[in-house]
Amino acid sequence: MSGGPAASPAASPAGPGDAGPAAVPILMYHQIAAGQRSRLAVTPAAFAAQLADLDAGGFTPVSAAALAAALAGGGPPLPARPVVLTFDDGYADFHAAALPLLASYGFTATLFVTTGWLRPAAGRAVSQPCPAPALSWSQLAEAAAAGLEIAGHSHSHPQLDRVPAGRLRDELAGCKELLEARLGQPVSGLAFPYGYSSQRVRRAAADCGHRYACAVRNELSRPDSDPFALPRLTVRRSTSLSSFGQVVRGRRVPLIYLPDRSLTRGWSVIRRGRALADRMTSGA
């Protein structure tokens, strides 16, 4: 999509001279790889063009933890035009393709990793395999040593709002503790698999020691955003450079993501029906 009016200053990500993080884009990536069937796989060439656009636009990537602290009124001040680059699941192509491109610009990012998918296997065995080759623990440590934030994405990538309390704690605390033990550094945040959560899940995340959590929602993050449901903006293979440039500048976001919102509403109805069926089956 191209064209369209510019957003009002109140809706635009903070730029030079702006007061505080009025609205900040948190971008959600998955794979950075060519020749993949997944619609969430962005080619290295497209990713390189997106980074070049951010650099030319004066954007400064910050970690999700830094943004969460700033939105909550704590932590160091944000740069004039902040953006957050997040990568879900923990695919090996991040190390091969994304990490070198980020390093070439001096950009940071946040990796939300599913610990049960990392190689070699650690912790509880998982039944759902990683849909593509996963990072190794040594590759993850290399990303951490490069200054990137490493955060959780559960241990086995379930729909967290549908798992019982005991397993929920294992998915959240187990993932956090495993990352901290293997990397030797604190983990302060997570992203919910599929973007699904509930009040129970968000409360459990806080109880396990997390300070923030990311959802999806395809909106800009603002000071009044729920720190345990920070919205992100999906970047996929079909995202044109024009649409990317508009989204990070706070322009036409509702229109660009209108198809996603329609699908989300429909899927929410289906999931509520399944949750009701689960409760009836369990006698709850």
Give the tens place of pLDDT for each residue, 123-159.
999 988 999 999 999 999 999 999 999 999 999 999 9
Taking all residues of the chain, what is their mean pLDDT, rounded to a whole number? Answer: 89
Q: What is the DSSP string of 214-281?
A: EEEET--B-TTS-TTSEEEEE--TT--HHHHHHHHTT-SHHHHTHHHHHHHHHHHHHHHHHHHHHHHH
User: 147: phi > 0 → left, psi -120 to 50 → alpha, else beta; which?
Assistant: left
Q: Quote the CA–CA distance of 188 and 55 in Å, as a whole number.
A: 27
Tell me what the mean pLDDT of segment 200-228 comes to. Answer: 97
Residue 109 is predicted with a pLDDT of 99
Residue 260: its pLDDT value, please?
79
Percent of the chain that is helix, strand, coil (3-state, to 5): 45, 15, 40
Residue pointed to by tokens 């699908």: 263
Q: What sign does the CA torsion over 171, 144, 221, 210 have?
A: positive
Query: Which of the pair, 239 or 274, is modelled with greater confidence?
Result: 239
Least confident of 73-77, 171-175, 190-194, 272-276: 272-276
* Bond prior to 231 in cis (omega within 30° of 0): no
Identify the structural domains of the chain with CATH numbers, from first to last. Answer: 9-252 (3.20.20.370)
Q: 232: which strand partners?
A: 217
Residue 15 confidence (pLDDT) above 70: no
Question: Which of 36-45, 51-60, 254-263 has the lowest average pLDDT?
Answer: 254-263
> Which tens digits make up the pLDDT trace of 80-99?
999 999 999 999 999 999 99
* Contact (CB, 8 A) for 132 and 31: yes
**Residues β-bridged to residue 32:** 42
Q: How far from the centroid of its chain's Cα atoms is residue 72's Cα?
A: 18
Q: HSE, CB side, 13 Å, CA atoms: give it for residue 238.
A: 8
Question: H/E element holding 42?
Answer: strand 41-42
Beta strands 60-61 and 41-42 are unpaired
pLDDT range class, residue 39, cuts 50, 70, 90: very high
